[in-house]
Amino acid sequence: MESSKPINEMSIEQNVSQTFNLYLRNFARYLIPFLTAGILTGLITVAVRSAQNIYETPLTSMFQQLLGWFPSFGTTSLTSLLLSEL
């Protein structure tokens, strides 16, 4: 892919125009990898979230109940966050 270096500072219009031209010219080249990565990430996220139990906060809870609830909620949330970022 050949890239042309601008001679002077480009305006916003020129910058946006050149960006769109680049992506439209190579649309299929960019579409397939991003579409594949999006589908794969979505499937992994759905699998991870459906495999975990999301614990809800007891509505009228005492401090001791919240202390018992927080570690399970934190572990589930952290695991889900880390695995869905893969």
Q: Where are the domains of the chain?
A: 12-84
Could you report the per-residue pLDDT of 7-27, keeping only the tens digit for each?
778 889 989 998 889 888 888
Q: Using a pLDDT cut of 90, give the percent of the chain over it.
A: 7
Task: Please list, residue by residue across 72-84, b when 16 or more beta carbons sit within 10 angstroms of its beta carbon and e when fewer do.
Answer: eeeeeeeebeeee
Of 32 and 61, which is predicted with more confidence? 32
| pTM across the whole model | 0.46
Q: Quote the Cα angle for 28-30-31, to 5°.
A: 65
Where residue 86 falls among pLDDT bands split at 50, 70, 90?
A: low
Structure tokens, 30: 């960019």
